[in-house]
Chain A
C-alpha cells in the first residue's frame, strides 16, 4: 500500500472548517484513500473514503486532487468533540482488509 504523509498536529477554532491534508504521491490506480479518526484511545472510527472523485457524507468531505497525489479531509464546522487523531490510509481495492496506520494528525479544536 502507498505510504502517506500527514502533519503531526493542527489546531482549529470551534465552528470553523478543519482542513486536514494528506500526501500520497505514490498512490496507484487501484488504491483508495480512507480516513479514520481515533478519539482519546478509543477504537478508530471510519470517516470517509474515495477513489478519485470528491466525496461527502454526514461527517466530512474528502477532496482528492486530480493527479490523486494528495487529498484533504474537511470537517465543515468543527466541534470540541472532533478533537482526535486523524489517519489517512491508502488501501488496495480487492486487497486484504488490513489497515496500516501512520502516526496521523492530532487535531485540537479550540473553544
Chain B
C-alpha cells in the first residue's frame, strides 16, 4: 500500500512549455483532488474528481486540465506554463465522495514546480 504517489517531485519548466504532474493512489479511493500552495499561504483547490470519468473545478482551475480515466490515476496538466504557476502541488484522495464524519483525506508528498 503506497498511499498517494506523486511524480515528479521536482520540475523546472520554461514559460510556454506543457507538462503533466502524475498522481496515483492504490487505496481504491473514489475522491481525488489537486491543490497548489504558494509561499506563506494555505493550499488552494485546483480540480477534483468524485469518480472515474467525473471531474470538476475548484478555486483556481485556470491554466490546468485534469482527467480521470481510471480510479487510480488523476493527472494534472499544465497547458502552457507561466511563472505564476510556480508552486508546490499536492494531490489528495479519500474513500468517500462527500464528507462523512470519520472521513480522512490523504495527501501526497508534493511536487515542486518552477516556471522560468
Report A's interface with B, CB cutoff 8 A. Answer: 32, 41-46, 49, 51, 87, 91-104
List 5 A-B residue pairs with CB atoms under 8 Å apart, sorted by A's residue number: A41-B88, A45-B107, A93-B101, A97-B98, A98-B33
Q: Which residues of A contact B73 (CB under 8 A)?
A: none
Question: Which chain B residue has the least Cβ–Cβ distance from A42?
Answer: B109
Give every chain A residue within 8 A of B44 (Cβ-Cβ): 101
Question: B95 — nearest CB in chain A belongs to which residue?
Answer: A97
Write the chain A residue with the least CB distance to B32: A97
Q: What's the interface size class on B, roughly?
A: 20 to 34
Q: How far is the CB of A93 from chain B (nearest CB, A)?
A: 6
Chain B proximity of A41: nearest CB distance (Å) = 6
Other A-B contacts than A43-B4, A87-B42, 18 sampled, CB-CB below 8 A, are A32-B99, A42-B109, A43-B108, A43-B110, A44-B43, A44-B107, A91-B99, A93-B99, A93-B100, A93-B101, A94-B98, A96-B98, A98-B33, A99-B43, A101-B43, A101-B44, A103-B41, A103-B42
How far, in whole Å, are A44 and B58 apart by their CA atoms in the complex?
Answer: 18
Q: Which residues on B sit within 8 Å (CB–CB) of A46?
A: 104-105
